Structure 1
Amino acid sequence: MSDKNVLNAINKSTDLPFSEHSEDKMPEVKSVFREVLPKQGQLSMEDVPTMILCKPKLLPLKSVTLEKLEKMQMEAQEAVKQQELAGREQLQ
């Protein structure tokens, strides 16, 4: 079979129009829809949302509430130490 016959057989089996040099070009596919541009009125375009890459947001390792609780605990421990030191000084 010659190259032309092979291309014709492929064309008939796939219903896609191939050129004789199909290695050089992609197969041409006919559009199902016809583009219509209005002569009057407004031309609208569909806005398709796309992904946008943003800077990464740095999250704290500890929550604000946890930091407040730790601070309160440290202050309470310091107060207990001061009371113990004051109690020892009174005993001496």
Structure 2
Amino acid sequence: MKGTDVESYTQRFQELILLCSRMVPDESDKVEKYIGVFHDSIQGSVMASKPKMLQEAIVLARSLMDQKILTYATRQAENKRKMDNKSRNNHVQQSPCG
């Protein structure tokens, strides 16, 4: 999987499963192979939910990846705001008292 492109990865994985059905004969093997490329935290969360079908694992992995991307974007925006505020505060000149 490249980056966070879950959709392309999922589509290609499903195509390969159809072409190479003997390599992953049962559903639990499909689930295990599918989540094998994700970050450890996503793998752990998907496995903890014990999906029995590939489709369950796909839905959960998509949801977790979406949450991860949203969290990252939110943090980036917060950090940018903090940096902008810090920059503005450093440029403001205070007038002498008295």
TMscore range, shorter length? 0.3 to 0.5
Q: Structure 2-normalised TM-score?
A: 0.31
Q: Structure 1-normalised TM-score?
A: 0.33
If asked which structure has higher relative contact order (CA below 8 Å, sep 6+), I would say 2
More helix by share: 2
